[in-house]
Chain A
Amino acid sequence: MVERGFDIRRLPGAATLAIACFVILYIPMVILVVNSLNGGQSISLWEGVSLRWYAVALQNEGFLNAAKTSLILATTAALVATVTATMAALATTRSRGFRGEGAINLILNQPLMVPEIVLAIALLIILAQIKQATGYMGLGYLVVAHSAFCIPFAYMPIRARLQGMDLTLETAAADLYASRFYTFRKVTLPLLAPAILAGFMLAFVVSLDDVVISEFLKSPGQDTLPTYLLGQLKRNLTSEIYAISSLLLLISVLIVAGSWLLTRKKT
């Protein structure tokens, strides 16, 4: 009798705590979105649903510039990170071990081992002096810095995929006299494509999410979306901040939903 009722999967309290966990995760985000829809002037007074603050945000020069900067920065950094990480992953997998393999892996994972704030300070010390010496104030500093800390995130999924990849197809291509490059382009790359895409998206989101390093390295007047938001936060909480935050939230939902659909179709 008792045996039939036994199911270790059903832990008393686990479901309750899990539901509590989901509620805790979602209530603040839902309230944030609700607040962004407040038509009133003050954040403390509810005056009906309206998209007014979204309109205000979308006409705000500062916000639009920050969005543009973020988009350019995240795309460039993710591209650089993905291309270099793919090359590196091809170098460090499918070998019987070579001299320096451990060193390369250690170097490529190094940005993950250092707290963000430390990396930000370290880059600030060097880049501030380069800025002074060269007078160049452009986006280049942020691009190289973002590329550096995005590389490990692009490297991980690509490397994992390569490690699990079957060598027989490539061997077959080589047996049929395909050149090394041709094999890579026609066999390896298509097999690797989902992982490269995953690595790119990971790097893109990591770059888009970064607050600390951008905040320390940006030149005057050069804001990304998160640093713009941080700057606005120093003043007063407004419904516009909630609208911008909700827009960022929407982007995340779209990205997650997109990648979810992509992987679901595959399996």
Chain B
Amino acid sequence: MATDAETLSIRADTRRRWVLALPAVTIITLFSILPLGVVVAYSFLTPGDYGNVKWIISFEGWFHVLFERDIFDDTVSLSDAHLTIVVRSVLLSLATTGITLVLGVPTAWFIATRPQRQRAFWLFLITIPFWTNLLVRTIAVQEMIRSDGIVNRLLLWLGLIDAPIQMMFTNFAILLGMAYVFLPLMVLPVYAAIERFDFRLAEAGYDLYASRLYCLRKVVLPQVKAGIIAGSILVFVPSLGAYVTPRIMGGGTTLMLGNLIETQFGQGRDWPLGAALSLTLTALVLVALVWYTRLTTRERRDG
């Protein structure tokens, strides 16, 4: 009898918890998960004549992600245009992560090693750009490097160049823009990790005649690694799916995956291909996230 009452109360508790969570779960299911399901379905359909789809099952959308067929003799070849964009997206995202690591980790270290009272001020300086609209920050970078922007004018004035350098609408512009807008995303998690580090451990290492470099590598790094990985993921994932920054900094010519996806959904374009490309991007992001989860859980087990 007692166990029956217990299971009943457990069931009632479970039901109560589900009812409480239901509104949030419903909103996300309807407006995030379900639409994604529709994208999966669309990727297996036939493009309509004026955009949209015909309800005929086809694998052409997925086929066209990587391949193209010659319109005259039907020979299949790798789609250079798509491949270039995928490779560019991955490389630019890796480079963005690299740049933000080089600048962000020392900055996080710097903030975490300030006296307690000063830290809030430095953190405040990082959180302002973090909370500022991404579009606004992209406009700010654009202003720096456009043809008669401050950088070109300075170089001209110094006599280093004779004519303005075309920096906008290049890979460099996209990279600069992304590194700029995502930099705070690297600093904050790395700071959180270093701030938790007990510096007495490093002193102990030094007392045992470890060199500074050895101490950093064997004592500090293992403790702050999780923060560095978290920061890298936080930068890499939005870089890979970036749309606004490449659109403004790259113009219409230099595209990333996000922009390629968008162009598939215009009038008379190939919606199933766009759907398949969207899922490819999502898969790339999920691979990064799974790799991150596995890395951190293994870390926790070993530690």
Residues of A within 8 A of B (CB): 3, 6, 8-11, 13-15, 17-18, 20-22, 24-29, 31-32, 35, 44, 80, 83-85, 87-88, 90-92, 95, 98-101, 104, 107-108, 110-111, 113-119, 121-126, 144-145, 147-149, 151, 155, 205, 208-209, 211-212, 225-226, 229-230, 233, 237, 241-242, 245, 248-249, 252-253, 255-257, 260, 264
Min Cβ gap B43→A in Å is 11
Chain A residues closer than 8 Å to B102, beta-carbon distance: 17
Chain A residues closer than 8 Å to B203, beta-carbon distance: 6, 8
Residues of B within 8 A of A (CB): 10, 13-14, 16-21, 23-25, 27-36, 38-39, 42, 102-104, 106-107, 109-111, 113, 120, 124-129, 131-137, 139-144, 146, 148, 150, 180, 183-184, 187, 199, 202-203, 206, 212, 215-216, 220, 237-238, 240-241, 243-244, 248, 258, 261-262, 265, 271, 274-275, 278-279, 281-282, 285-286, 289
Answer whether A252 and B131 are a contact pair too, CB < 8 Å, given A24-B103, A117-B281, A125-B38.
yes
Closest-by-CB residue of A relative to B14 is: A98
How far, in angstroms, from A17 to B187 measured CA to CA in the complex?
12
Q: Is the interface of B mostly helix, strand, loop or mixed?
A: helix
Chain A residues closer than 8 Å to B127, beta-carbon distance: 256, 260
When the two chains form their complex, are residues B133 and A148 in contact, meaning their CB atoms are under 8 A apart? Answer: no
Answer whether A248 and B132 are a contact pair too, CB < 8 Å, given A20-B103, A107-B33.
yes
When the two chains form their complex, are residues A205 and B131 in contact, meaning their CB atoms are under 8 A apart? Answer: yes
16 inter-chain pairs at a CB distance below 8 angstroms, sorted by A residue, are A9-B113, A17-B107, A21-B106, A28-B140, A28-B144, A35-B143, A90-B20, A91-B16, A100-B14, A119-B35, A126-B35, A147-B31, A209-B133, A229-B136, A248-B133, A260-B127
Min Cβ gap A228→B in Å is 10
Chain A residues closer than 8 Å to B244, beta-carbon distance: 211-212, 230
When the two chains form their complex, are residues A8 and B212 in contact, meaning their CB atoms are under 8 A apart? Answer: yes
Chain A residues closer than 8 Å to B18, beta-carbon distance: 91, 100, 104
When the two chains form their complex, are residues B35 and A252 in contact, meaning their CB atoms are under 8 A apart? Answer: no
When the two chains form their complex, are residues B21 and A110 in contact, meaning their CB atoms are under 8 A apart? Answer: no
Residue from A18, A99, A119, A248 whose CB has the most chain B CB atoms within 10 Å: A18
Closest-by-CB residue of A relative to B25 is: A107
How far, in angstroms, from A25 to B139 measured CA to CA in the complex?
13
When the two chains form their complex, are residues B32 and A118 in contact, meaning their CB atoms are under 8 A apart? Answer: no
Chain B residues closer than 8 Å to A249, beta-carbon distance: 132-133, 136
When the two chains form their complex, are residues B144 and A115 in contact, meaning their CB atoms are under 8 A apart? Answer: no
Closest-by-CB residue of A relative to B139 is: A245
Closest-by-CB residue of A relative to B237 is: A115
How far, in angstroms, from A148 to B28 measured CA to CA in the complex?
5
Chain B residues closer than 8 Å to A248, beta-carbon distance: 132-133, 136
Min Cβ gap A66→B in Å is 12
Min Cβ gap B295→A in Å is 17
When the two chains form their complex, are residues B27 and A226 in contact, meaning their CB atoms are under 8 A apart? Answer: no
How far, in angstroms, from A212 to B202 measured CA to CA in the complex?
45
Answer whether A84 and B133 are a contact pair too, CB < 8 Å, given A31-B140, A233-B139.
no
How far, in angstroms, from A116 to B33 measured CA to CA in the complex?
13
Chain B residues closer than 8 Å to A252, beta-carbon distance: 128, 131-133
